[in-house]
Structure formats: C-alpha cells, structure tokens
Amino acid sequence: MLLKTTALFFITALAEIVGCFLPYLWLRKGGSVWLLLPAVASLVLFVWLLTLHPAASGRVYAAYGGVYVATALLWLHFIDGVKLSTTDWLGAGIALLGMAIIVSGWSSSAT
C-alpha cells in the first residue's frame, strides 16, 4: 500500500505544481492567457486525485504534504535548474519518512 500511495501522491503533487506553475508563467513570464486552461484542468485533476485515498481527509493531506515537499524540490532541480543542497535532500527525506509513518498507520486506525 505504501508504494501505491506514494506514487499516487507524486502524481497528485505534479498536478498541483503544474496547475500553479502555468499561471505563474502567464503572470510573471509573459506567457499566453491560454495557459490558464490547462492550469485549471491540472488543478481539477489534483483535487480528484486527493479523493482516491482510503483515509480520512486530514490524514491524506498530512501525508501528502511530505510528498509535496519532495516533489517541489525535484521540480526546482529538474525544471528550474537549481542545484539542490544536502539540506534540501535531507529535508525531502525527512518529509517522506513522515509521510511513510502516517500512511503506515492508515490500516490500523479508523478512517
């Protein structure tokens, strides 16, 4: 379950980041207003993906936050071209560990 949940969270994070990055391109980088259409679609996908988890919404949001941190840093590295520091990688690892701890308790706690 942990691997499936993590993969779904990474896809969810990408949908959220793309949904926020496209308006940024429009507003700050002179991109076309038409970027807003795929941005809206991406954010709708993001919301839908969050509903696919079998846990209470607060637990899902808490666990998702850890994956979002790691995904945002990967985006920073691969899309924005920023070299990540050791502390970036360490923080991402700790965030993912927190997500794993939260998800591991989903089957044993009430949803």
Token output for 29: 């980088």
- pLDDT score recorded for residue 110: 52
- pLDDT score recorded for residue 109: 58
Q: Indicate left, alpha or beta for 109 from its phi (over 0: left) and psi (-120 to 50: alpha).
A: beta
**Tens of each residue's pLDDT in the chain, 111 residues:** 788 888 999 999 999 999 999 999 999 999 999 999 999 999 999 999 988 987 778 888 899 999 999 999 999 999 999 999 999 999 999 999 999 999 988 876 555
Q: What is the dihedral of CA 79, 85, 89, 94, to 10 degrees?
A: -130
- pLDDT score recorded for residue 1: 75
- pLDDT score recorded for residue 2: 81
> How far from 86 is each of 39, 53, 78, 83, 97, CA to CA, in Å?
32, 32, 16, 10, 16
Residue 56: φ, ψ to 5°: -60, 145
